[in-house]
Chain A
Amino acid sequence: MYAVLFHHMVVGLAAGAGTLMGLCAFLAWLGSYLSNLESSRSTLDKASYAASIFTLVAIPLAMISGYYSVSEPAGSAILYNKFIFSGIATGFTASYLIGRLKFGSDVWNHSALANLQMLSAIFGFTAIMILGSIGSKITLGESTLDILPFWPEFMNSIVINQWISLFLLSIGLVSVIFSLRIANFSGTISDLD
């Protein structure tokens, strides 16, 4: 019973933090092209940085509380999709946070990395938005995003064999470790330039 209440609270926090992360990162990226936003870029960067940390804490809590809120957490395609999109949201949010930790606030001065950071944040935000839409479909039977003509149907899901998932998980783990080890990220971009 408390899992449901906790889930309601924590998904709201995850959605709010994810939205803040996505929008602030997008505006910080836009600051490179719009002089009006240049002065606010530092604030936007810090806001999205803090929001990404909070999102990365809130998503696992939402997953755990959601898991205990239903009798069969993976009993239908729509619930299964929540797991998948939670993983996607976590992946993009974590990559945004790690990028920000490694490169510092100067990341927005480097065009390619700024694009990458912006895409990570926007994809993370989109995944969280889809998660919210799925949750709304489950509880209310409808979602605000239903108005979009191209919104996909979440009544079907892609179920990958557990061994293939395990294989993908191993590849992901190896690629994360490899990426972290090969990259020389000891300083900030301004130090390297």
Chain B
Amino acid sequence: MKSRILVLSVIISLLLASSSGVANPGGKGDNNRDFTCGGSCHGDPSLSALSTADIQISMKSTAYSGTATEVSVSITGMDLSSNNLVGIFLLGSKNGNGDHPEDYGWQIIQDPNGGGSNYVEVISSDGSVSVSWVLLAPMDEGVKEIFVSIHHGSYYNHDNKAYIGETEAFTVDIAPIPANYPTLAEGWSSPDERVSGDSSPIIIRTVNTDDLSVLWRISGESQSHEASVEMVSNQEWEVSIPATLGDTRIEYQIIASMDEFSNQMPWLSIGTSEPYFDGTSLGAKLQSFSFALIILGFMLSLQAWFSPRGVRKEFENTNEVEASLSSDDSAYWSRLIQSDENPGWLWDPIEKEWVADPNIQGGEK
């Protein structure tokens, strides 16, 4: 009977635990994820609901195979939770598994947050957001599809449901690349970020390019500037873009040319990361203690320097002198004779003089 109660209790506990759980309401971070990430946690209809969002995909309906193209996604009308977080998937299908764009030949050069993931999390304060991915089109020709899916919470969401939205397929015709069409080399991707203050050049690898120019601008500004470009080896270019500080993002646009072709690619961006810090825990402790002791030693030295110079102990005879004076005094005072005729005065028979009695002051003892 006891074992049955125990088993029943365990089952009830597990059931209660599962119903109280929610799937990552604070997000899971940018990464390469299949839509099963969203589907497995929120696939149960009791745990999910349809988002009110309107999702629009815009990109060129035709792209040359192996060339850079931009997918822009505009999402509006979202009712978000208090953290204003929305997760956005860029997908090659809606199979739920194996639906990463790279499974369909696309290559992500840059995601909206500067990385190379098909899933990004962004903050939206007004329930709408616009993001874009830069992709390298598949090498195999034909019609390809792109999907976008989102999931987010909601402010009035007592059941802790995930709100899911998804688009229909956006079809792109992958056309054969013209002979000698200049573009980026397969496998090249834009760096996510540079260390603050780092002005080292960016390496860009291309194909079919005999001239490369790069424009750069600070994110949010419209005025662009031309970067200095140097060809370091065959189809490899060093691009000098100014160093950035703080949390500045810098955007750049590559224009690859070959004969009559000029391929103006989408804007890419690079963030700024904090400089590498080489401090260690042990080093910090040692430095802290050394500073404390150096300061203490210095201040104590100053205290010793400024302290009044006392008599050194080996020459200190104060007690002996006081004892000697005290014994001399007692012999002197004992020889003095009191007189009733002259109260307040003592007679010194040796010196033959009157001495004021120290025990009497103002005529009173």
Contact = CB atoms under 8 A, between A and B. Distances in A.
A, B co-complexed? yes
Interface string B269-302: 0000010011111111111111111111111111
Interface string B18-51: 0000000000000000000000000000000000
B363 interface: no
A3 interface: no
Interface in A74-105: 74-77, 79-80, 83-84, 86-88, 90-92, 94-95, 98-99, 102-103
Contact of A172 (B283, B297, B304, B312): B297
A115 B283 CA distance: 33
B92 to A, nearest CB: 37
A87 B307 contact: no
B167 to A, nearest CB: 37
A184 B313 contact: yes
B303 interface: yes
Contact of B312 (A98, A103, A168, A184): A184
Interface residues of A, number: 58
B300 A98 contact: yes
A86 B288 contact: yes
Contact of B290 (A80, A169, A183, A191): A169
B244 to A, nearest CB: 15
Contacts of B284: 73-74, 79-80, 83-84
A155 interface: yes
B308 interface: yes
A179 interface: yes
A187 interface: yes
B245 to A, nearest CB: 10
A19 interface: no
B332 interface: no
B303 A179 contact: yes
B282 A90 contact: no
Which of B277, B298, B310 has the most chain A CB atoms closer than 10 A to its own CB?
Answer: B277
B310 A120 contact: no
A166 interface: yes
Contact of B296 (A63, A95, A113, A191): A95
Given A77-B277, A91-B295, A191 B287 contact: no
A179 B297 contact: yes
A159 B300 CA distance: 26
A116 B283 contact: no
Interface in A40-92: 63, 67, 72-77, 79-80, 83-84, 86-88, 90-92
B3 to A, nearest CB: 36
Nearest to A88: B291
Majority secondary structure, B binding face: helix
B304 A168 contact: no
Which of A77, A91, A102, A168 has the most chain B CB atoms closer than 10 A to its own CB?
Answer: A91
B100 to A, nearest CB: 31
A48 to B, nearest CB: 16
Given A74-B280, A116-B302, A91 B291 contact: yes
Contacts of B310: 184, 186-187, 191-192
Given A75-B277, A116-B302, A166-B290, A92 B283 contact: no
Nearest to A181: B304
Contacts of A76: 274, 277
A87 B300 contact: no
A189 interface: yes
A169 B286 CA distance: 7
Contacts of A169: 286, 289-290, 293
B309 interface: yes
B274 A155 contact: yes
Given A159-B278, A184-B313, A116 B308 contact: no
Given A116-B302, A162-B282, A179-B304, A91 B287 contact: no
Nearest to B285: A83
A67 B303 CA distance: 33
A171 B295 CA distance: 11
Contacts of B285: 83
A63 B274 CA distance: 25
B289 A74 contact: no
Nearest first, the 7 closest Cβ-Cβ pairs linking A and B are: A172-B293, A175-B297, A91-B295, A95-B299, A87-B288, A179-B300, A87-B291
9 contacts: A72-B281, A74-B281, A91-B293, A99-B303, A103-B307, A110-B307, A175-B298, A176-B297, A192-B310
